């Protein structure tokens, strides 16, 4: 996973829990929106994971469609949680 230099424009999502302790579930329409915004930044327990547009384009929903409470349907994509070692919000010391 590459760190996107245009991270200010990235779509962000707060993740409350991981499925099976290692997967993040992302809805298909969130992936489409993140591709248009230049990537996706996920937050979970003081950790950050970033997915570039290239990473997002290869993700495919699997399984059944789920009915939304507010109308419409969506599919989930499960991504292995791989947090960044360095927090991109902080400056690097040389």
pLDDT in tens, 56-88: 999 998 888 888 888 889 999 999 999 987 665
Provide the whole-model pTM: 0.76
Instruction: Render 32-46 in DSSP notation, one character per residue.
Output: HHHHHHT-EEEEETT
- The domain ranges of the chain are 7-80
Ramachandran category for residue 45: left, alpha or beta (phi over 0 → left; psi -120 to 50 → alpha) = left
Dihedral of alpha carbons 42, 48, 53, 54, sign: negative
pLDDT in tens, 1-48: 444 444 468 999 999 999 999 999 999 999 999 999 999 999 999 899
Average pLDDT, the chain: 85
């Amino acid at each position: 996973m590459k760190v996107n230099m245009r991270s200010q424009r990235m779509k962000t999502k707060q993740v409350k829990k991981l499925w099976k302790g290692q997967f993040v579930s992302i809805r298909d329409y969130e992936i489409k929106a993140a591709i248009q915004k230049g990537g996706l930044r996920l937050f979970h327990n003081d950790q950050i994971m970033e997915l570039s547009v290239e990473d997002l384009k290869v993700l495919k929903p699997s399984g059944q469609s789920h009915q939304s409470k507010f109308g419409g349907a969506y599919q989930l994509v499960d991504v292995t949680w791989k947090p960044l070692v360095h927090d991109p919000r902080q400056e690097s010391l040389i």
